[in-house]
Chain A
Amino acid sequence: MRPQQLIPSIGRRCRPRLPIVLSPQRRNNSYTVSVDEPSDARPADPPAPRARSAPTPVPDEPTVEEPSLGKSDILLGTEEQALATPGLTFADGHGLRGPTGKGRQTRRMNLYQAIRDALGTALATNPKAIVYGEDVAFGGVFRCTMGLTEEFEQGIAGFGIGYASVGGCAIAEIQFGDYLVNEAAKLHYGSGGAYPLNGGSLTVRAPIMSVGHGGLYHSQSPEGFFLGAAGLKVVIPRSPIQAKGMILAAIRDPNPVIVFEPKILSRPDAVRAIQLLSNPPPSLAALLPAKLRPPNPAPSIQLIDLRTINPLPAAAVSEAVKKTGRVVIVHEAGKQGGVGNDLAGEIGRRAFEYLEAPIGLHAGAFDF
């Protein structure tokens, strides 16, 4: 499951569709319905299994090797690169040099290792912190974990709100809940700033987006639903180092924060691919397929890594657009009702006279 190519890829190959073969019964459309069966009779013999034609396997076309990201050496491979991550701050106040003054150590982690590390820090430093959710079954560093079945999914958010209300620090892992919009987001405003009590915070982690094999139910990008929920912070880390920092910041934030974790980032190769896109080094062009290579001389591109989508930093983005005059928004969610359209509207409203081309929106951008 290694990424096969770079993104963005326009000419992406799909697996050819399998031929659909109808079974004879289905084709003849012959059904018999009996209504005279005595009701106390044993159930009729189960219907004979329908003939299922085995699909003829279509051999894959030979893959044209494209540059592999996994082998690339242009990633955050060193401490210096990792510590140069924009926006990186340290809660201990010692900055990049660390408490010893001799620098800080870094460790190579994928997204979930980073999150686990962040949760471990939170639990170790805050005696009122709990981590809970559906089938949360970590061990070791966690003082308190609970395995809840999915039956209680709807209660998880509310449980966390109550826990935070009396001053606890709740870190939930859920799929979804209206609570976040209706109760968590409005609690602080509605109570005139009184709740949650001092020290209380609610952080909700939820994995989103596709990973390639999730089918309908494990590939959605619903972050747009939460854009209208004033009072809720919605953040999406794009790398392990961001994930760790954002989880810790979210836990210390009195606001309810949803941390959406792109599932794809749990795969090390994918992590690198995203990082490559987000911090394009000068040698990026050489790795791209010929038809995707930028013209020469390469245009000047400013890449904005939108980590917080609620509240949407529309003003800051618009200021950047005023400098370049062009903007393309890329996200994995669909076009309608997503962050991209919202942002495009704000940019159009604020920087209309600076735009030299229509605002581009590349939605549904999943290419792994």
Chain B
Amino acid sequence: MATSRAFLTATRPRRTATLPARITARSLITGPPPSVPPIHGTHETPTSTPLPSPNPLPAFHIPSAPVPHARQEDGKPLYVSGSQAERQARAGRMSSPLRRGTHESWWTPEMGFFNAVAKTIPTFRVLDEEGHLVRGAHIPEISKEEAIRMYHIMTLVPIVDNVLYQSQRQGRISFYMQCAGEEAATVGSAAAMLPNDEMYGQYREQAALLYRGFPLKDMMAQCFGNVEDEGTKGRMMPVHYNAPDLGFHQITSPLATQMPQAAGAAYAIKLDENRQGDCVICYFGDGAASEGDFHAALGMNSVLGGPCIWFCRNNGFAISTPIIDQYAGDGIASRGPGYGLDTIRVDGNDALGVLSAVREARRRAVEGKKGVLVEAMTYRVGHHSTSDDSSKYRPMEEVQEWTVVDNPLYRFRAFLVARGWWSEAEEAALLKKNKSEVLKTFSRAEKLPKPKLGEMFNDVWAVQKGEEMPSVISEQRAELGRLLKKYGDVWAPWRKERKRFVEEGEDVMDCDGRGA
């Protein structure tokens, strides 16, 4: 651990030695007022170190004139032209058994081993850390409304995260995961997608979900598992959202399992003539890319086709494992050519760069009915989850530094200001509105009861018309009803617990109590 940390700090150039005073002086939102008693009891979780959460928004600042940048003259990565079908046809035509299955090869007496397919993989960006336009960069087509909506979500997510994170610390919800530091990567990519597209998240993509129009109310309802939680009906841990009408698929805890599913969905879209022009985006992290599922998914998608954007949020850590302990190759982008996928590496803290790259990736994916890999380089500012204490494996100074030196919100705001689309007054109003809206939905969601108790027995197996619930389930339901009838009023813990549910458990007491 010590060596990896030393390496990390040694290789990353430190651009500021000390923090500006405005960061420490900033008043962070501290979550809901503690007047409401905690519901879950206080949890003993390992997280104790306070992190800059949410990703702190620097004080308003009008950018100076752009600084000219040096051109990146390093070797360009290779691109084999032609569609997937053409390349497959070319490979199939080769008659020599030695060459079969290769794109282009030749006989050579030189024994040339290689460990990279390109000298370097450049990182695409449109805005630099200061928010200036990089020389030669093209600003993607973006309307004022679109840009402000992106910024709205990018500033809303930190507030949502902070309120829910603090409420977990107070024992009011059981778990939470923040998006801090990855706002630009998530919102930028979501903004490049169209409404009919399918979206597979890993677990840290609440910003994409909000961008697609998921109401705050539903988000809070899911985290509390209350009666308004229509997505998961109180059955899932917090942050396990789904929104079928927005094309956002169920978040599940197992890592990387969304990837083969995304390949399957992309293939279904490819075959479905009514869905031509739609696309799938699959989010995953640098850690998930070490799972076998990553390779199975990219392998199947590259062979079978189907429009899919593989969006890697390379945020530097897989829980505690830094990327230096995760892979020895050139990031995740280097794996794309292995599967013959169009690949790009993009600066994940540059919302415009991500928007531009994913938009082009989407075009290629839809036109070629194939997968495209996008590696967004970013940094996880928050802890992995509320069950993690990242101060054990990375210096807090490093985190602070990232939020100052390379702040995604700052960069995008500088662009908005430079365009004349945003002002300090508008910012203050937006933050105030966001904060009050979040706190309002939060306190409302917390006060709502849980769904009916009997809801936990539904949907285990889908019951079709004319079928009965399997006896395995109906017997358990009857047993609970019998016990509730007997002890529900006389045993204090149950008497108290029942009150949290709609109908207070009466709905399962409809049986004769003679269950198994």
A joins B in a complex: yes
Name A residues whose Cβ lies closer than 8 Å to a Cβ of B.
128, 130, 144, 146, 148, 151-168, 170, 178-179, 182-183, 186-195, 197, 230-231, 233, 253-255, 311-316, 349-350
Which residues of the partner chain A approach B459 to less than 8 Å between Cβ atoms? 188-189, 192-193
Contact in complex: B268, A128 (CB < 8 Å):
yes
| B292 on interface, CB distance cutoff 8 Å | yes
CA distance A328 to B268 in the complex (A): 46
Contact in complex: B252, A182 (CB < 8 Å):
yes
Contact in complex: A190, B300 (CB < 8 Å):
no
Which residues of the partner chain A approach B462 to less than 8 Å between Cβ atoms? 188, 193, 253-255
Contact in complex: A192, B235 (CB < 8 Å):
yes
Q: Other CB < 8 Å A-B pairs besides A151-B299, A193-B459, 17 of them?
A: A130-B271, A155-B296, A158-B259, A162-B200, A162-B261, A163-B265, A163-B267, A163-B268, A165-B265, A183-B261, A188-B459, A191-B242, A197-B244, A230-B460, A253-B464, A315-B471, A349-B516
Which residues of the partner chain A approach B295 to less than 8 Å between Cβ atoms? 151
Contact in complex: A192, B261 (CB < 8 Å):
no
Which residues of the partner chain A approach B516 to less than 8 Å between Cβ atoms? 315, 349-350
| B86 on interface, CB distance cutoff 8 Å | no
Q: Do A311 and B473 contact each other (CB < 8 Å), given the known contacts A159-B261, A194-B242?
A: yes
Q: Do A162 and B264 contact each other (CB < 8 Å), given the known contacts A183-B257, A194-B244?
A: yes
Q: List 20 A-B contacts (CB under 8 A).
A: A130-B267, A151-B295, A152-B300, A154-B296, A157-B260, A159-B260, A159-B297, A161-B264, A162-B267, A190-B250, A191-B250, A192-B233, A193-B233, A195-B250, A253-B462, A254-B462, A254-B464, A311-B470, A311-B473, A313-B471
Q: Mark B112-156, 1 if CB is under 8 A from A, else 0.
A: 000000000000000000000000000000000000000000000
Which residues of the partner chain A approach B230 to less than 8 Å between Cβ atoms? 192
| B106 on interface, CB distance cutoff 8 Å | no
| B503 on interface, CB distance cutoff 8 Å | no
CA distance A295 to B230 in the complex (A): 62
Contact in complex: B268, A155 (CB < 8 Å):
no
CA distance A349 to B475 in the complex (A): 13
Which residues of the partner chain B approach A168 to less than 8 Å between Cβ atoms? 264, 268, 271-272
B46 to chain A, nearest CB (A): 25
Q: Do A191 and B232 contact each other (CB < 8 Å), given the known contacts A151-B299, A163-B264, A314-B472?
A: yes
A214 to chain B, nearest CB (A): 25
Name B residues whose Cβ lies closer than 8 Å to a Cβ of A.
198, 200, 229-233, 235-236, 240, 242, 244, 249-250, 252, 254, 257, 259-269, 271-272, 292-293, 295-297, 299-300, 303-304, 458-462, 464, 470-473, 475, 516
- Which single residue of chain B is at the shortest CB-CB distance from A186? B252
CA distance A98 to B266 in the complex (A): 40
Contact in complex: B299, A158 (CB < 8 Å):
no
Contact among B240, B460, B475 with A315 in the assembled complex (CB-CB below 8 Å): B475
Which residues of the partner chain A approach B261 to less than 8 Å between Cβ atoms? 158-159, 161-162, 165, 183
Which residues of the partner chain A approach B232 to less than 8 Å between Cβ atoms? 190-192
CA distance A146 to B264 in the complex (A): 13
B90 to chain A, nearest CB (A): 20
Contact in complex: A155, B293 (CB < 8 Å):
yes
B248 to chain A, nearest CB (A): 11
Which residues of the partner chain A approach B254 to less than 8 Å between Cβ atoms? 178, 182-183
Which residues of the partner chain A approach B250 to less than 8 Å between Cβ atoms? 187, 190-191, 194-195
Which residues of the partner chain A approach B260 to less than 8 Å between Cβ atoms? 154-159, 161-162, 179
CA distance A158 to B298 in the complex (A): 12
- Which single residue of chain A is at the shortest CB-CB distance from B263? A159
Contact in complex: B300, A155 (CB < 8 Å):
yes
Which residues of the partner chain A approach B252 to less than 8 Å between Cβ atoms? 182-183, 186, 190
Contact in complex: A231, B264 (CB < 8 Å):
no
A226 to chain B, nearest CB (A): 13
Which residues of the partner chain B approach A254 to less than 8 Å between Cβ atoms? 462, 464
CA distance A96 to B309 in the complex (A): 51
Which residues of the partner chain A approach B297 to less than 8 Å between Cβ atoms? 155, 158-159
CA distance A130 to B460 in the complex (A): 25
Most chain B beta carbons < 10 A, residue from A130, A160, A192, A233 = A192
CA distance A231 to B459 in the complex (A): 8
Which residues of the partner chain A approach B461 to less than 8 Å between Cβ atoms? 188, 230-231, 233, 255, 311
Contact in complex: A162, B265 (CB < 8 Å):
yes
CA distance A59 to B240 in the complex (A): 65
Which residues of the partner chain A approach B249 to less than 8 Å between Cβ atoms? 162, 165, 195
Which residues of the partner chain A approach B269 to less than 8 Å between Cβ atoms? 166
Most chain A beta carbons < 10 A, residue from B293, B300, B303 = B300
Which residues of the partner chain A approach B198 to less than 8 Å between Cβ atoms? 166
Contact among B231, B244, B272, B300 with A159 in the assembled complex (CB-CB below 8 Å): B300
A84 to chain B, nearest CB (A): 24
Which residues of the partner chain B approach A130 to less than 8 Å between Cβ atoms? 267, 271
- Which single residue of chain A is at the shortest CB-CB distance from B292? A154
